[in-house]
Chain A
């Protein structure tokens, strides 16, 4: 089981003190969060991609490359990379460069984005959201697997004998997760390719996400990648933790109430009851995170969002420490004990490399025997 933290990269002022943050502070804070996450025993750090204020996260691979240089173990990922408005050729190149520099510690999560105007800003039409996601990924998938690509599609200029460079590290493309908040088409896409499927698990009742995961698992099996329970599922979740739950609730409330996504609607308590939001003690986090497994089945990656809505760096780092000390070790043990042996871990560069080499060796051995 992988645990990680993901940030959307908002530069909101601290709602308690009113203190604003500069863009540079926020970018460096996000790097500090990634470094702390690695120290605290997390497996993944992921950044969002946005192209409008109040966000700073417009260039994930630049940011992640900087973080790669400051870390040695943690997997660098995205939440999400916009497959609709980015050129798939540039995604292929950017993430391959990152993969080489980070020694394979890279995967990415593709999403369509949630900001309508981004489409026209990048010369696209929001009504093509799903078709863009499908066509662009079909091209990206080939660029990472075929050395010479001939391509003609509806949205991009054609390619003749194009080679995306650098080639993926060790010939193994970064693992891809497909993120979806509401589209069954994306669950179908993830299943078709045998890629991972990630539900952001934010601000919506769990039943909603369970339906999407159900579609993905069923279709994953339909396309012959394994049984439904072997499909690769990830979930997000918003979280704030303190030693005792009253402190967590008191300290987090102003950030929640001012959250650009959650604030001014249902109360924090209603969100905690109706959605995956967790604000409480380490034990409460453990108890609730275990219910995610009951809803979604054994899954491979849990990412927590901690820093949205102007939560100051210090509070984020404290939360990471507490999660690393008291929550993740317990959850790791529980999840691993509950997971049947035929359900795989999330793929990593190392595991996929080992798997490929094992397959190659097996083929060679076969040849030897037949001689």
Chain B
């Protein structure tokens, strides 16, 4: 068991300010997953993708149809990871345009089957269901496996009242971390590579598929 390779966890943060509460939430979730996996005897390599650093590259990808080398590296680290934490601020009642744009430039079958923890931040808790009506369908379309607990952190969640019934952010982070780790822990690790889409169907088979019944 101990010979198993470290697992790779990609963390996408679409926060724009520095420091960013979106990144803060991403880091808390990362630690929760890391702790859970450590408990299961698995090491984890974390690669953080800060979308702000790639904002211009992502826009250029829309115009050119191909990623810059930096963006290609970021996409590779996400698509080849064993698990993904994706965190966006809520803008205009949904994920930010930058967050969506990043997933728009990834092949729509590149995240199939990938364990994903979705999370979001916002000024108030009123937008927390954006996770359910925007992020979860996005990842469902990509055929990723999204853990049941999606974590929303409103500004007020970063404070607290010493009341365990209202101070739920740490609990939710821990639960989501457990859920993602449970999906990841038995994967072989070392970023088992998805195929690169260049498998060739032999020509005779392509022709045969066209023969009239």
B63 to chain A, nearest CB (A): 3
- Residues of A within 8 Å of B207, CB to CB, are 134-135, 138
B95 to chain A, nearest CB (A): 23
Do A187 and B200 have beta carbons less than 8 Å apart?
A: yes
Stretch from A26-34, A92-100, A261-269, A319-327 contacting the other chain: A261-269
Do A266 and B68 have beta carbons less than 8 Å apart?
A: yes
Q: How many B residues touch the partner, as a band?
A: 20 to 34
Given contacts A184-B199, A185-B201, contact A265 B60 (CB under 8 A): yes
B197: nearest residue on chain A (CB-CB)? A184
Stretch from A60-68, A204-212, A328-336 contacting the other chain: A204-212
B209: nearest residue on chain A (CB-CB)? A131
Given contacts A263-B63, A266-B64, contact A188 B212 (CB under 8 A): no
- Residues of B within 8 Å of A264, CB to CB, are 63
CA distance A262 to B63 in the complex (A): 7
A130 to chain B, nearest CB (A): 8
B110 to chain A, nearest CB (A): 14
- Residues of B within 8 Å of A138, CB to CB, are 207, 210
A207: nearest residue on chain B (CB-CB)? B72
CA distance A131 to B208 in the complex (A): 10
- Residues of B within 8 Å of A266, CB to CB, are 60, 63-64, 68
Q: How many A residues touch the partner, as a band?
A: 20 to 34
B92 at the interface (CB under 8 A from A): no
CA distance A263 to B61 in the complex (A): 12
Q: Mark B171-213, 1 if CB is under 8 A from A, else 0.
A: 0000000000000000000000000111111110011011110
- Residues of A within 8 Å of B210, CB to CB, are 131, 134-135, 138, 153-154
CA distance A134 to B62 in the complex (A): 30
CA distance A212 to B201 in the complex (A): 14
B213: nearest residue on chain A (CB-CB)? A154
B164 at the interface (CB under 8 A from A): no
- Residues of B within 8 Å of A212, CB to CB, are 198
Do B200 and A215 have beta carbons less than 8 Å apart?
A: yes
B71 to chain A, nearest CB (A): 11
CA distance A204 to B198 in the complex (A): 16
B196: nearest residue on chain A (CB-CB)? A211
B65 to chain A, nearest CB (A): 6
A264 to chain B, nearest CB (A): 5
B56 to chain A, nearest CB (A): 9
Do A134 and B60 have beta carbons less than 8 Å apart?
A: no
Given contacts A184-B199, A215-B198, contact A274 B209 (CB under 8 A): no
A247 at the interface (CB under 8 A from B): no
A279 to chain B, nearest CB (A): 16
A272 to chain B, nearest CB (A): 13
Do A188 and B206 have beta carbons less than 8 Å apart?
A: yes
Do B63 and A153 have beta carbons less than 8 Å apart?
A: no
B66 at the interface (CB under 8 A from A): yes
Residues of B participating in the A interface, judged by any CB pair closer than 8 Å: 59-66, 68-69, 196-203, 206-207, 209-212
Closest 9 A/B residue pairs (Cβ) = A265-B63, A192-B203, A265-B64, A265-B60, A266-B60, A135-B210, A188-B200, A184-B198, A204-B66
19 interchain pairs, CB-CB under 8 A: A130-B206, A135-B207, A135-B210, A154-B210, A154-B211, A184-B197, A185-B201, A187-B200, A188-B201, A208-B66, A215-B198, A219-B200, A262-B64, A265-B63, A266-B63, A266-B68, A270-B68, A274-B66, A275-B66
